[in-house]
């Protein structure tokens, strides 16, 4: 949460519109760079997946992926390296998560 708050507090003037969506506050900003930094900070802090980040921020997985892999390296290479390590770990583990989901499905849990 600390990284997210630091980035959020650094750029408070970039908030364009705020609304409540499914119990969460969705912040729509005018600058894609800020959104990419927010996404990266949240993924690092929570060690989450692209799907979880998309759900949390209320945007598509495609947008999260594009922000992280294409936009973020252009202006914050250090943050990109950190988030890339987490995404690579998620990619390496995805077959295990899928297998567990299938096992639970057929076990009836």
The residue among 27, 33, 21, 23 whose CA lies nearest residue 67 is 33
pLDDT value of residue 58: 92
Q: Tally the domains of the chain.
A: 1
One digit per residue, pLDDT tens: the chain, 109 residues? 555 555 555 554 444 444 555 556 555 555 788 899 999 999 999 999 999 999 999 999 999 999 999 999 988 899 999 999 999 999 888 777 777 778 888 887 5
- Collapsing DSSP states into helix, strand and coil, what is residue 31? coil
User: Which residues on adjacent β-strands are paired with residue 15?
Assistant: 29
pLDDT value of residue 75: 85
pLDDT value of residue 74: 86
* Residue that the structure tokens 């936009």 belong to: 71
pLDDT value of residue 93: 85
Domain residue limits at 19: 2-107
| pTM value > 0.75 | no
Q: What angle do CA 67, 73, 76 make, to 5 degrees?
A: 105
Helix (H) or strand (E) holding 16: strand 15-21
pLDDT value of residue 34: 87
User: Phi and psi (nearest 5°) for 49?
Assistant: -95, 170
CB-based contact 26:17 (threshold 8 Å): no
């Amino acid at each position: 949460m600390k990284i997210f708050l630091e980035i959020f507090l650094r750029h408070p003037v970039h908030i364009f519109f705020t609304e409540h969506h499914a119990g969460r506050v969705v912040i729509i900003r005018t600058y894609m760079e800020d959104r990419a930094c927010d996404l990266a900070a949240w993924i690092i802090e929570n060690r989450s997946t692209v799907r979880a980040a998309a759900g949390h921020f209320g945007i598509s997985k495609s947008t999260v992926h594009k922000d992280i892999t294409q936009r973020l390296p252009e202006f914050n290479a250090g943050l990109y390296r950190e988030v890339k390590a987490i995404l690579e770990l998620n990619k390496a583990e995805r077959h295990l998560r899928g297998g567990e989901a299938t096992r639970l499905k057929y076990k009836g849990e």
